[in-house]
Amino acid sequence: MRTQVAIIGGGPAGMFLAHLLRQAGIDAVVLERRDRAYVEGRVRAGVLEQGTTALMRRLGLAARLDREGLVHGGTNLSIDGALFHIDLAALTGGSTVTVYGQQEVMRDLFDAAEARDLPILWNVGDVALHDLDGARPWVGWTGDGVARRLDCDFVVGCDGYHGVSRAAIPAAVRQTFERVYPFGWLGILADVPPVEHELIYANHERGFALASMRSATRSRYYVQCALDEKVADWSDERFWDELCLRLGPEVSARVTRGASFEKTIAPLRSFVSEPMRWGRLFLAGDAAHIVPPTGAKGMNLAVSDVIMLGEAMAEYYGERSTTGIDGYSARALARVWKAERFSWWFTTITHRFPDMDVFSRRLQVAELDYIRGSEAAQRVLAENYVGLPMEVR
C-alpha cells in the first residue's frame, strides 16, 4: 500500500487530521490498534473550545453538535462553598465553550469518515516506523496475522502517551518535561440532571470537586482523591456525601443523587515532549503532551496541533514549500506550553496538596479571592479557559 500521509492512531488528533487532509485533497490512511467501538466508547473530555467547534463546522461535522451541544457563556468557582461566577462571554468579547463529550465527537468523526470513504485500518498490531530520517518512510504492521507495509511521504504519530511514535524519535534528540501530581480524580457518570447549568470548580479544605455534565439529564462529577485509593472503596453513597460536602450547603441542596453507571480514578500529570517533528515524523495530541484535566485542554490542544499541521501539509503539497512543516514543532509548542501553564496554574489554585501547610492554604484562598474581586484577573482566566487562538497563518 501507498499513501501520502500515514496517521498512527484513530483518536481525536488522528481523525481530525485525516478529515483536514481529505478536505485539502491529500491522501491519508489511519492505523488504529483497537476497534471503533473501543475508541468511541472511551470516556474523556467534554468541554470544547470555540476553535474546536469552529473546526467541526468547517469540516461539516457539526450537525449533532449544534443540536445537542450545551453552549456555556460562563463558569463557576467555589471557595469552601462560597460560589462566584466568571462571565466568559462578557470578558472575552462573546467567546463561549460547548459541553459535548469526546465520545460524541468521535462518533461524528467516524460516521463522516465512513460516509466519505476515508480509510481506517482497525485492530492493527505490531506497528513499527521505519526510515523516518530518509526520503521514503514506511510503516509496518500486522493485520489478521499477516505482515503488511504502508509506504508514505510522512508519518504523523497521534497514538497517545503510550504509543510507538514518540519513542521512534532518538533519545539523543528527544527531551521530555513532566510533573506528576500527588492525587487523582475519582469521577462518576450518572443519569441525573446537573446541579448547575454551568460547571462548578470547587476548592474545599477537604479537596477539589468538579460538577460537570454531558447533557441536560446526565451528570459528570469528580472529587480529588489519593492515588492509592480504590474505586471499590467508594460506594455511590460515600461519593455523593463527599461531593456535597465539598460543593457546600448552598449547591449541595440542589444535587440530585442517583446510581452511577461509570466510576474511575484517573491520575493527573503535565507532560511535554520536544521536538514535535523529527525527520518525516510529526507528533500531535497526547503523543506529544498531556495536561491535567482541570483546564479542559487535552482534546482542544490536539485539535490545535492538527490545524497547524494540516495547514503545513497543504502548503507542502500545494506549493512545494517546506516552510510550514519545518516550523510546525516550534509553532505548536508555543501554544502547548501556554496551555500547560494554564492547566498547571488552575490545578494548583483549586486542589489540596498533601504537603500544603496553613501558609500555602491561605495564599491559595487569597488568590481565589483576588480572582473573585478583580475583573482583570477574571479576564485572564476567561481568555485561557475559552482557548487561546488556534492560529491560522
From 289, 293, 316, 328, the catalytic residue: 293
Residue 92 lies in a domain: no
Q: Give the model's pLDDT for residue 310.
A: 98
137 is catalytic: no
Residue 70: partners with Cβ closer than 8 Å, 6 or more residues away: 98, 99, 100, 197, 213, 215, 216
Closest CA to 70 of 99, 101, 46: 99
Our answer to whether residue 370 is catalytic in this structure is no
Q: Check 19, 204, 289, 297 and give the catalytic one.
A: 297
The domain that holds 304 is classified in CATH as 3.50.50.60
Could you tell me if residue 183 is inside a domain?
no
Q: Is 270 helix (H, G, I), strand (E, B) or coil?
A: strand
Does the residue 300 lie in any domain?
yes
| Active-site pick, 100, 201, 221, 328 | 201
Give the list of residues 6+ apart from residue 17 with CB closer than 8 angstroms, or none.
5, 7, 28, 156, 158, 284, 306, 309, 310
Catalytic residue, chosen from 72, 204, 289, 351, is: 72
Mean pLDDT of the chain: 96
Full pLDDT tens readout for the chain, 393 residues = 999 999 999 999 999 999 999 999 999 999 999 999 999 988 777 899 999 999 999 999 999 999 999 999 999 999 999 999 999 999 999 999 999 999 999 999 999 999 999 999 999 999 999 999 999 999 999 998 899 999 999 999 999 999 999 999 999 999 999 999 999 999 999 999 999 999 999 999 999 999 999 999 999 999 999 999 999 999 999 999 999 999 999 999 999 999 999 999 999 999 999 999 999 999 999 999 999 999 899 999 999 999 999 999 999 999 999 999 999 999 999 999 999 999 999 999 999 999 999 999 999 999 999 999 999 999 999 999 999 998 644
pLDDT, position 391: 65
Q: Judge whether 196 lies within some domain.
A: no
Whether 35 maps to a domain, the answer reads yes
328 is annotated as an active-site residue:
no
Q: Write down the catalytic residue from 100, 181, 316, 385.
A: 385
Least Cα distance to 302 among 283, 328, 329 occurs for 283
How far apart CA 159 and CA 238 sit, in angstroms, is 36
Q: What is the pLDDT of residues 134-172, one digit of tens each?
A: 999 999 999 988 999 999 999 999 999 999 999 999 999
The letter for the amino acid at 292 is: P
Q: Return the closest-CA partner of residue 85 out of 390, 392, 382.
A: 382
Q: How far is Cα 317 from Cα 153, in angstroms, rounded to an integer?
A: 11
Q: Cα-flanking dihedrals φ and ψ of residue 308, to 5°?
A: -65, -45
Burial annotation 256-288 (CB, 10 A radius, 16+ → b, else e): eeeebeebebeebebbbbbbbbbbbbbbbbbbb
User: What is the domain range of residue 36?
Assistant: 5-70+98-178+268-351
Decide the pairing of beta strands 28-31 and 47-48: unpaired
* 18 vs 37: CA distance, rounded Å: 19
Active site residue 317: no
Q: What pLDDT is stored for residue 392 in this prediction? A: 45
- Does residue 13 fall inside a structural domain? yes
Q: Is residue 370 part of a domain?
A: no
What is the Cα–Cα distance from 380 to 209, expressed in whole angstroms? 22
- CA atoms within 13 A of residue 100's CA, in its CB half-sphere: 27
- Per residue in 128-149, is it b (16+ CB within 10 Å) or e — as a string? ebeebeeeebbbebeeeeeeee
Tally of CB atoms within 10 A around 19: 25
Q: Quick check: is 381 in a domain?
A: no
Contact (CB, 8 A) for 102 and 299: yes
CA distance between the termini of the chain = 33
Q: What pLDDT, on a 0 to 100 scale, did the predictor assign at position 390?
A: 86
Grid cell for residue 69: 451541544
Is 201 catalytic? The answer is yes
3-state class (DSSP) for residue 27: coil
Query: Residue 178's closest CA among 53, 269, 55?
Result: 269
Total count of domains within the chain: 1
pLDDT at 226: 96
